[in-house]
Structures are given as C-alpha cells and as structure tokens.
Structure 1
Amino acid sequence: MSEVPGPLVGRRILLVEDEYLIAELMEEWLRWAGIEVIGPVPSVEKALELIDGEAEALDGAVLDVNLGRGETAYPITDRLAELGVPYLFVTGDVRIIDHPAHQRRPRLNKPISPAELYRAVESLLASRSPPAR
C-alpha cells in the first residue's frame, strides 16, 4: 500500500485482464498507489459476478478489451455504464475498439508503464467524489 496519501488511495477498481502476468503486474502497480483492486479476473462471466456483488462500492474499472477465446469486455462495459461506473481500456489490439461509443472511452495501448496507468486512473476518477469509506 502507498505510504503517501494520494488521490487513488482507498479507491476500489475492478481489474479485468486475461493475461496472467499482465494482470498480476497491473494489480501490483494499482496496489502500490493505494487502490483496493477488485479482481483481477480474466473473463466477462467472472467480471459480471464481481460487479453484481460490488457495484455500489466500485469507483472505476480497468479493462482489457480482448479477453481471449473471441470474448470482448463489451458486456462488462454495458453493465458498468448502467451503474454509472467509469472505466478505461488497456489493450494491445488498437483495432478492436471499433464501436463509436467505445472509441470515445479512455484507452491505454499496451505495453504501459505504472505512471501511465496512474495518470489514466486519476483522470478517470477526477470527476468522482472521494470514497466515503
């Protein structure tokens, strides 16, 4: 956990990434910033289960677009949008975000650095009030 209080400390972020090593690395980076990571999970099914159990407490989500086996994160984004939870994409496939609604979403192209991830999550959450926990 971060020793210095910052804008991300105490925030709860859903992490959806199907590549195990990338998921572990991003989880570690987010935890260093003081974020409580929900997940990581590798699939739509598992992400939706977590969202249904944590929806009111989620501050945002970081999603890989292509989750393997032809699965995309779009059903997850639909549910997050219904709940008003902001999200951003972290993807290695820049072609996959082809729907106009998704093209406007914040996106980081892999590979990413911890600083890029922190800035993107901070920006994503900037309009939301601090967590009341």
Structure 2
Amino acid sequence: MRILIVEDEALVAMLLEDMLADLGHTAVFSAASTTEALAYMSQNPDAFDFAITDVNLAGEQSYPIAEALAAAGKPFAFATGYGPGSLPEAWRDRPVLAKPFGTSDVARVVGPA
C-alpha cells in the first residue's frame, strides 16, 4: 500500500517510513505541516491509498487534513501521544497509533501489504 505520512518530527517520520517498508508498504510522501499535506493531497489525489497523520503538527491540529481525507474517501489513522480519548468525538472511530509506537502497532493500523 502507498502511505502518506503527515508528521512534523523528522526522526519520527523516518522511523515510520522504515517500519512501513519493513511491512512491505511504501511511504510516498512525508508532509510536516497541514499546508504541505493539503497541497500534496490536492495535487496528487491518487498517489496514496492510506494516510497516517500526527494530531499535533508544531502546535497546529491536523483535523483539516482528516476532513479532506474523509471527504475524499481515503482511509487514515491518527498518531498521537495523548491517546484516543483526546480526539474530538467525530474522529474517535478512526484508528490511532499511540506514541511511542512499534512496527506491530503500525501493522495493526495499516494492515498487511
């Protein structure tokens, strides 16, 4: 599967890319901000099958990204260190990668290649 990563911490993004590769997936793009992610998504709507987005991007919430993904019918998961209970009610049905996460956590959320 082709995965869009939205993560503002470069080391976490690189770790996630490695975990996805180990699972047989491809990280197609890593965005560090809401603006960057939304621009990529609008210019490349068919370039990815799934997205993982950090909830907090340098102090900015990623919910506009979630709204765009949902409107496009793209499956996605949130990554957060605050736990699933910190998400607004509207997004609590989405998969959550609790930070810190490991490869088995990513596999549970993304699924097999």
Please report the TM-score for the alignment, with normalisation by the length of structure 2.
0.90
Q: Give the conservation status (yes or no) of the 8 Å contact 2:51–2:74.
A: yes
Q: Distance in 2 between matches of 1:31 and 1:55?
A: 22
Alignment partner, residue 34 of structure 2: 44
Q: Distance in 1 between matches of 2:66 and 2:102?
A: 23
Amino acid at match of 2:5: L
CA RMSD of aligned residues (A): 1.7
- List, as ranges, runs of 4+ consecutive aligned residues in structure 1 with deviation greater than 6 Å: none
Q: Deviations over 1:16-72 (max 9, x none)?
A: 11111111100111122222212211100110111112212321101110011x311
Alignment partner, residue 81 of structure 2: 92
Same amino acid, percent of matched pairs: 38
Q: Distance in 2 between matches of 1:26 and 1:57?
A: 18
Q: Give the conservation status (yes or no) of the 8 Å contact 1:66–1:93.
A: no
Q: Which runs of 5+ in 2 are unaligned?
A: none
Please report the TM-score for the alignment, with normalisation by the length of structure 1.
0.77
Q: Does 1:29 align with 2:5?
A: no
Question: What is the aligned residue count?
Answer: 112
Q: Does 1:106 align with 2:95?
A: yes
Greater Rg, structure 1 or structure 2?
1
Q: Distance in 2 between matches of 1:112 and 1:45?
A: 25
Q: Distance in 2 between matches of 1:112 and 1:71?
A: 21
Q: Does 1:18 align with 2:8?
A: yes
The structure where strand makes up a greater share of residues is: 2
Amino acid at match of 2:107: Y
Q: Give the conservation status (yes or no) of the 8 Å contact 1:13–1:58.
A: yes
Flag the structure with more relative contact order, 1 or 2, with Cα contacts below 8 A and sequence separation at least 6.
2
Correspondence for 2:56 among 66, 85, 93? 66
